[in-house]
Amino acid sequence: MAALVLVLALATVARAAERVGTVAELEGRADVQHAGESAWAPLAVGDGVLLGDQLRTLADGKMRIVLREDSALTLAPSSQLAVTEQMVAPATVSRFQLLLGTIKAAVTERYAEPQARFEVETPTAIAGVRGTSFIAEYNAAADETLVVGLESITRVRARADAAGRGEVDVGPGQATRVRRGSRPVRPMMLPEGRLRGLQGSTQLGPRAGAGAGIRQRVNRLDARRPLRSGQRAFPAEERAVDQPLFRPPGPKPPPPPPPVPPGR
């Protein structure tokens, strides 16, 4: 019996120590608290992210993580995230808890497959996607979650609404809010200034040196093409999310009339 308990304990430790991603970019200070530990340790570019880790950025910090299936998560300053589940087989499933602050997720098309699931849970809401991009912000003072769609559709429901009876679909540029004990409000277009602020808080500047190869993979992921007519296109860092759509040139003006002969 003692041997069985020891084997189970070792299996639990090995599972918790499973590497699920890498710190690809970092500005300022970010820390990690591994599962079963009470102390926080500073992170650096290239460090591994383990299942069960809690990650936090300080007031001057931003961090981008690339998961092993190439999805990317960017934490804004003063944010905290827990890695609760991540597996790639038999189906790709990832779950995270945003405990505080703001996160941007750029999710690969792998999650469009049957049984795949990608979810970010906050104290009041759950945002789920299938190969798309979105921003989630949890305001602890207001006990409210803001979810903003960046590409395709993001499905949002209240955390207490397990059946999803009040869930809403958030399209590109739209946003919904979820207060504790309430269902998501009807999605509306987010004001341009607010959207720019969220984009800026989850955008890291160009860096040279370590992490450049990882950063190239993330940039390719962020450079999305529209998936359907009328959908916005997103260059690297999704900087053009609030730019006007391309419009083809209008018809050419008619040629000028022929000159009038002299004497008429």
In a domain, 126, yes or no: yes
In a domain, 54, yes or no: yes
Neighbours of 44 (CB within 10 A): 10
In this structure, what CATH number is given to the domain that contains residue 135? 2.60.120.1440
pLDDT tens for each residue of 69-95: 899 999 999 999 999 998 877 778 899
In a domain, 28, yes or no: yes
Structure tokens at 211: 């992490």
In a domain, 14, yes or no: no
pLDDT confidence bin for 5, thresholds 50/70/90: very low
According to DSSP, the β-strands at 117-121 and 144-151 are: unpaired
3-class state of residue 242 by DSSP? helix
Distance CA 118, CA 153 (A): 13
Give the count of domains, the chain. Answer: 1
- Predicted pLDDT of residue 115: 82
Q: What is the mean pLDDT of residues 102-108?
A: 95
Q: What is the mean pLDDT of residues 245-264?
A: 57
In a domain, 249, yes or no: no
In a domain, 7, yes or no: no
DSSP 203: -
- Predicted pLDDT of residue 221: 38
**Mean pLDDT, the chain, whole residue set:** 80
Q: Higher confidence at residue 78 or residue 113?
A: 78
Q: How many residues in the chain?
A: 264
pLDDT tens for each residue of 164-207: 889 999 999 999 999 999 999 999 999 999 999 999 999 997 64
The range of the structural domain enclosing residue 157 comes to 21-236
